[in-house]
Structure 1
Amino acid sequence: MAKPSRKPSSSKLEHQRLCWHYGDLVAYGFRRLQRKYDRRTAELPDPTYIENALAALSIDGVETQEGLTDQLQSSLLPILQSQIDSLLQALDLPGLRNDPAPKLALVLQIQAKLDYSLDRIKYLVVTLCPDRESMSNRTDDHDLKGLKSYRLCRLRMKFEGILSWRICEIFETANDLIQQMELSSGPSNSSWSEIESLKKSLNRTVCCTSDTIKSIADCFQASELALAQDSWRHQRLQIEQLHQSILEELNPSTHTTGIFKQYSDQFVGQSVIRLARLTLPIFKLSRIFFAKLSKRGLAQERIPIHTEISSEQISILAESVEHVVEDLRELKFHLDSANQPDEDARSEDFVRIAGSLKNCFVFPLLLVSMYFIPLIPDTEALQLQKYYQNWFVTWNNQMALAIHNFTLVAKTYTDDIP
């Protein structure tokens, strides 16, 4: 005769009710925080709330914009990081499994602290940069040092576009973890391996969030040259990939499957082969130029954090790599078109792109020469200013020659694809 199944003891039922009570509050808290700080559902800043938040900051002696940025770096961001670390520790699997109620109660406390910190940061950021669109390209802020609009707009972009998204990802994953561990009254059908996978995902998201917090702090600690390069990595990689694709189509024996293999395995026809070969110095010099400005080049020198460059000029420097990539991509497209018998590649297109590429480097060269190279600390042993001046002069001459040679041949280009 089968034994009747045991009913849970009253103490176990009480324990489960207590866990679900805390778990439901925690789950609700994570959902509420996610709605509040998700860009798609967040409410617009309330001017009265901003005044109250700033009044609270002023109690600590913060009265100026410089004071607000100092408060953000020295206090608010480190506190936020500490609270995120505490949340991750509170959500450790053994603790939640063996003694969940105290852990869930602790998570509730951390949620309240996170909400308060994020509120203060949110409204402080909006105060420093009330209108990102109108502020980003100011021409009259040469002497504003750390309060130039480009820097402040980067701060707001990083908070609204990256940090808020990362934080909401933490809230969503943490909520899923609580639910799948059956610590709330919500439905759950996950295995322990799936729960462990959720925890690993939470760990990764917290790590990415920590990197974002650091990058926000860098908005005020990085030089304006480094700030301009903040989004260069992807475009620099594209230049390398485009360069490699030209090499592969000129020398098919070295060809590897890549994202730019779209038309033919190799260039055919003497005219297009000659043009393609003349683009190689242009691609190489473009890649070298931005590498020289990077953290392994000019940006690693002890350039002051603030110069007399304006936000509009920083923006021009920041966007220069994007314009170069656009022209190089178009150049590659026309070379591939010229390599097809049924495509109409025109001489004037090659000449136009070459002229556009030449113009792409005019302002970056001027800005680097005016605002950054003269501020490199110089010593008798290391004449770095002279070194960089000579390097960019040599580079400019070589690029001018490469574009000149390409343009001469492009003007005489004729389609000889059989």
Structure 2
Amino acid sequence: MMAPLAGGAPGAPVGGVWGTVRGTLSGILPVTPHPDPRTPGGSEGRAHPLSRPFGRARVRGCAPGALLRAPTLGADNHRADPCRALSSRCGSRSRMNEPLEMDNPTKKKAPTSKRSRKEDHRQQGDLVVEAFNSLIAKCKAEDDDSSATRDGREKYDGLVIDQIDLKSDLLFQLHSSYLPQLRHQITTLSESLKPSDLLKNPHSKFDFISEIQSDLDRTLDQIFSARRVLCPLPIKLPSTRINDYHLKVFKSYRLYSLQYALTSCFLDAIICVFYHFGDLIRQLKLTTQKHDCKADLASVREDILCEVDHSLFMIEEAITWVNGSEFDIVQVGWRNEKREIGESVQELLSMISPANPATKGEKQSERKPLSESATQLAKSVVPVMKLSRLFFDKMSRRGMNQKKLPLYTTMSSHQLNTIDELAQNIEGRLTTILRGLGDADTYHEPDTSELLTEVVQEIEAHFDAGILLILLHFVPIIPDTDGFPVQNYYKDWLATWNTQLSIAVNNHLEACKIFEQNAE
């Protein structure tokens, strides 16, 4: 990954699949301003990021608790508590429900006294805060799917949408220049907005911040324009086995992921950063807006650092969608579920041994102890859950995916989506098992036995489908390490693991039969 780039200079060309850079494209691509911010609409696409039939809801690519909608702008241009969800994640104590917008500053007068210098600084602060609000409005408008899609059709259909070379160049610019620039600019703003430095020399700091804001505005335009060319229409993953492997980096699976990665949580995170930047200036009383409450600068600064970290995480994730291998991308879809699978294992152990402090879960106080027969049934599920956790740990970047793999495989988008949703499907069914075990002593035993039998067999079927695709398409492209036959190692490991899972499933099915017989 390239180092952050300053200003608007593109990064140095790199080789590989992208080929030769054909020059900076920002002058080629028209940028459509969005003067009237609108409330974001719903995104089209596959249903699993926000809803699914099994288990907990999750947001693809978002850190835990990161889902929120963009702040709304009312008719009076006053904002109302836009980042409550994200800031609560960081332990925010700052007041975010007060408007940031300022009255139009009057014409500056030459400072002739200490009082007039303060007024000059406040008017300058007004302009900086208004610039942050303008950036927020730009991001909100981009997150409006209908607006962004309509603009893409009007300007790019029949012109560049089928030009593969241009799209390749845009992908290159996104991961090597535009997104690193955004990362660098947000980091620079965070470092420039230290309260002590702002209070010491507000004039020069505001001048510098204004320059970065102008660069940010241009960078966001470049990112948004590139996204509209690469994803000009709502992209849906194929519901049938359409083979688009020949499209390489332009398979609908990657483009769908990219469309999501450059909107939604990505924009939410950036919006909250801009909000907190403006809120800090307001609380420092460096604007003309009255702020009677005592500022908690330590808390405000803590909020800023938290939101900046989250926005940088989302930028890195977007770079992965652009320049990562297909195995990198599917693992982004595994992240939340991997954590939840681990939590499911702990919850199951706490059901079996409620008196053991090491296994006591958060919900233990709400649950009645299991009967002896239900406890034996729960014990039979432990190997299935632990093997599930082991599989995703082994296939993760800490395990199988330690080295850079080729960008694309011969898989279709449908097959890639099957692997992408593997963790989601497994985690959802483990949650169903926990719910069934919790009700085992309440409902009729045959119902519990039938439910667990069906769900565990579904787990085995999902793993069988995923492992087959991994063996056929991912394992053969893993490079050997210092002469060590890595591919053979993973083939043997997956075969052994699959055998252990089959044994665990069969043992659980036998336990279900015994549980049902004891009820007769």
Q: Give the TM bin, normalised by the shorter chain.
A: 0.7 to 0.9
| C-alpha distance in structure 1 between counterparts of 2:122 and 2:481, whole Å | 68
Aligned positions, number: 401
Match of 1:365 in 2: 467
Whether 1:311 aligns to 2:413 is yes
SS at match of 1:240: helix
Kindly state the Cα deviation for residue 370 of structure 1 after the two structures are TM-superposed: 0.7
Kindly state the Cα deviation for residue 254 of structure 1 after the two structures are TM-superposed: 1.6
Kindly state the Cα deviation for residue 408 of structure 1 after the two structures are TM-superposed: 2.7
SS at match of 1:339: coil
Whether 1:208 aligns to 2:347 is no
Pairing 1:372-383 to 2, within 5 Å after superposition? 372-378=474-480, 381-383=483-485
| C-alpha distance in structure 1 between counterparts of 2:477 and 2:271, whole Å | 42
Kindly state the Cα deviation for residue 39 of structure 1 after the two structures are TM-superposed: 5.9
Match of 2:267 in 1: 164
Aligned CA RMSD, in angstroms, stands at 3.0
Match of 1:181 in 2: 284
| C-alpha distance in structure 2 between counterparts of 1:384 and 1:258, whole Å | 38
Return closer, same or farther for 1:130/1:295 CA change in 2, 3 Å cut-off. Answer: same
| C-alpha distance in structure 2 between counterparts of 1:18 and 1:234, whole Å | 49
Whether 1:347 aligns to 2:465 is no
| C-alpha distance in structure 1 between counterparts of 2:309 and 2:436, whole Å | 43
| C-alpha distance in structure 2 between counterparts of 1:269 and 1:299, whole Å | 42
Letter in 2 for 1:171: F
Kindly state the Cα deviation for residue 114 of structure 1 after the two structures are TM-superposed: 1.0
Return closer, same or farther for 1:260/1:399 CA change in 2, 3 Å cut-off. Answer: farther
Q: Is the Cα–Cα contact under 8 Å of residues 273 and 304 in structure 2 kept in the other structure? A: yes
| C-alpha distance in structure 2 between counterparts of 1:216 and 1:277, whole Å | 41
Q: Is the Cα–Cα contact under 8 Å of residues 263 and 336 in structure 1 kept in the other structure? A: no
1:64-93 superposed Cα distances (whole Å, 9 cap, x missing partner): 111011111222122222322332233232
Q: Is the Cα–Cα contact under 8 Å of residues 346 and 361 in structure 2 kept in the other structure? A: no
| C-alpha distance in structure 1 between counterparts of 2:365 and 2:238, whole Å | 38
Letter in 2 for 1:92: K
Letter in 1 for 2:496: T
Moved more, 134-143 or 114-123: 134-143
**Structure with more of its chain in helix, by fraction:** 1
Kindly state the Cα deviation for residue 365 of structure 1 after the two structures are TM-superposed: 0.9
Q: Is the Cα–Cα contact under 8 Å of residues 338 and 344 in structure 1 kept in the other structure? A: no
| C-alpha distance in structure 1 between counterparts of 2:153 and 2:329, whole Å | 33
| C-alpha distance in structure 1 between counterparts of 2:238 and 2:274, whole Å | 31
In percent, how many aligned pairs have the same letter? Answer: 28
Whether 1:331 aligns to 2:426 is no
Kindly state the Cα deviation for residue 334 of structure 1 after the two structures are TM-superposed: 1.5
**If you compute each CA radius of gyration, which structure gives the higher value, 1 or 2?**
1
Match of 1:58 in 2: none
| C-alpha distance in structure 2 between counterparts of 1:367 and 1:176, whole Å | 49
| C-alpha distance in structure 1 between counterparts of 2:219 and 2:270, whole Å | 12
SS at match of 2:479: coil
Return closer, same or farther for 1:379/1:93 CA change in 2, 3 Å cut-off. Answer: closer
Q: Is the Cα–Cα contact under 8 Å of residues 174 and 322 in structure 2 kept in the other structure? A: no
| C-alpha distance in structure 2 between counterparts of 1:233 and 1:261, whole Å | 25
Q: Is the Cα–Cα contact under 8 Å of residues 150 and 311 in structure 1 kept in the other structure? A: yes
Unpaired runs of 5+ residues, structure 1, are 1-8, 56-61
1:217 to 319, 333, 339: 319
Match of 1:407 in 2: 509
Return closer, same or farther for 1:397/1:262 CA change in 2, 3 Å cut-off. Answer: farther
Q: Is the Cα–Cα contact under 8 Å of residues 90 and 107 in structure 1 kept in the other structure? A: yes
Pairing 1:15-34 to 2, within 5 Å after superposition? 15-34=117-136
Q: Is the Cα–Cα contact under 8 Å of residues 337 and 345 in structure 1 kept in the other structure? A: no
1:187-215 superposed Cα distances (whole Å, 9 cap, x missing partner): 212435x1242233223322322222222
Whether 1:143 aligns to 2:233 is no
Moved more, 408-417 or 203-212: 408-417
1:351-373 superposed Cα distances (whole Å, 9 cap, x missing partner): 21222122121210111011011
Return closer, same or farther for 1:92/1:406 CA change in 2, 3 Å cut-off. Answer: closer
Q: Is the Cα–Cα contact under 8 Å of residues 325 and 404 in structure 2 kept in the other structure? A: no
| C-alpha distance in structure 2 between counterparts of 1:405 and 1:48, whole Å | 56
| C-alpha distance in structure 1 between counterparts of 2:253 and 2:313, whole Å | 21
Kindly state the Cα deviation for residue 228 of structure 1 after the two structures are TM-superposed: 0.5
Match of 1:6 in 2: none
| C-alpha distance in structure 2 between counterparts of 1:238 and 1:368, whole Å | 22
Whether 1:252 aligns to 2:366 is no
Letter in 2 for 1:387: Y
Kindly state the Cα deviation for residue 152 of structure 1 after the two structures are TM-superposed: 2.3
SS at match of 2:275: helix
2:489 to 366, 371, 387: 387
Kindly state the Cα deviation for residue 41 of structure 1 after the two structures are TM-superposed: 7.3
Q: Is the Cα–Cα contact under 8 Å of residues 338 and 415 in structure 1 kept in the other structure? A: no
Moved more, 140-149 or 63-72: 140-149
Return closer, same or farther for 1:358/1:89 CA change in 2, 3 Å cut-off. Answer: closer
Letter in 2 for 1:223: S
| C-alpha distance in structure 1 between counterparts of 2:454 and 2:141, whole Å | 42
- Output the TM-score relative to the length of structure 2: 0.70
Q: Is the Cα–Cα contact under 8 Å of residues 350 and 364 in structure 2 kept in the other structure? A: no
Moved more, 279-288 or 337-346: 337-346
Whether 1:73 aligns to 2:175 is yes
Q: Is the Cα–Cα contact under 8 Å of residues 378 and 385 in structure 1 kept in the other structure? A: yes
Match of 1:111 in 2: 213
| C-alpha distance in structure 2 between counterparts of 1:340 and 1:44, whole Å | 51
Return closer, same or farther for 1:296/1:90 CA change in 2, 3 Å cut-off. Answer: closer
| C-alpha distance in structure 2 between counterparts of 1:326 and 1:279, whole Å | 15
Letter in 2 for 1:218: T
Kindly state the Cα deviation for residue 50 of structure 1 after the two structures are TM-superposed: 5.2
